[in-house]
Amino acid sequence: MEHIKLENVCFSYEKNSPEVLTDINLSVEKGATVCIAGANGCGKSTLLQLMADCFKPNKGTITVNDSQYTGIVFQEPDHQLFMPTVWEDVAFGILKKGMPAAAAREAALEALRSLEAEHLAERPPYKLSGGEKQRAALAGILIMKPEILVLDEPSAALDPRARKNIIQILRNINCTKIIASHDLDLILDLADTVYFLDQGKIAAQCPVPGLLHDEGFLQSIGLELPLSAARR
């Protein structure tokens, strides 16, 4: 069953400006983990924001089935962390929906606990490491119980240990996941299907690993072999 489907989607930020995305056709099955791979500047972040309903396409259609909420975790967690303490950031959405403060705090602690991050609850976000900020931002989305989780470069700027932790956390989250990344090893670890984006167009789509081991194809769209494949 398709959870989200894009048909002939085109997008530009301003009228009469060049298209950032052109004729995007993409579908995601319910419960699947789909990754969007591509070099920096190819349109991955814009595509994710379209799927999370942050923007509307100029042309084409985006259909989301059986979804109450699509949550997006941006590449820069600082864009989502702005309250005095982590728990207040995590609880922000459910407080806005009317949950009493005491219940919202307990729900926030539970969301952090599920990510092994409860110890961050009283800390100010600006004192967190990159990996800790990722967990805090993710907890703030998970508390809203998304049917579809959209993540933009979740391993960017993380040290090896934090990267390993976030991959394990994402593997254990039970919902439809759409992840944009140029970290091809992360895609190998997590994805069922990968779409390759090049200059705003879908260059190819395949099950994982598929073209992730094709050095010539990857170089043609500005990517390199995953480290795990390059070591062979």
Q: 150: helix, coil or strand? A: strand
d(CA 74, CA 125): 15
195-212, pLDDT tens digit by residue?
Answer: 999 999 999 999 999 899
List, in order, residues 6 or more apart from 14 with CB less than 8 Å away: none
Question: Distance between CA atoms of 188 and 23, rounded to whole angstroms?
Answer: 26
Residues 170 and 61 in one domain: yes
Instruction: Determine which helix (DSSP H) or strand (DSSP E) holds 49, and give its type and residue range.
Output: helix 44-51
Whether residues 132 and 191 share a domain: the answer is no
User: How many structural domains are present in the chain?
Assistant: 2
Same domain for 166 and 231, yes or no, is yes
In this structure, the answer to whether residues 97 and 173 fall within a common structural domain is no
Per-residue pLDDT tens digits for 218-227? 999 999 888 7
The percent of residues above 70 in pLDDT, for the chain, comes to: 97
pLDDT score at 53: 87
* Residue 89 is assigned to a structural domain of this protein: yes
- Is 204:216 a contact under the CB 8 Å cutoff? no
- 59 with 163, same domain: the answer is yes
Note whether 142 and 152 are same-domain residues: no
Mean confidence (pLDDT) of the chain? 89
Model pLDDT, residue 45? 92
pLDDT recorded at residue 82: 85
pLDDT one-digit tens code per residue, 37-96: 999 889 999 999 999 888 999 999 999 886 667 888 887 777 778 888 999 999 998 898
Asked whether 187 and 211 are in contact (CB, 8 A), the reply is no
- Based on the domain organization, do 162 and 228 belong to the same domain? yes
| Stated pTM of the model | 0.88
Half-sphere exposure of 30 (CA within 13 A, CB side): 10
- Residue 175 sits in a domain whose CATH number is 3.40.50.300
Q: Domain range for residue 47?
A: 1-67+148-232
Q: Are residues 166 and 127 in the same domain?
A: no
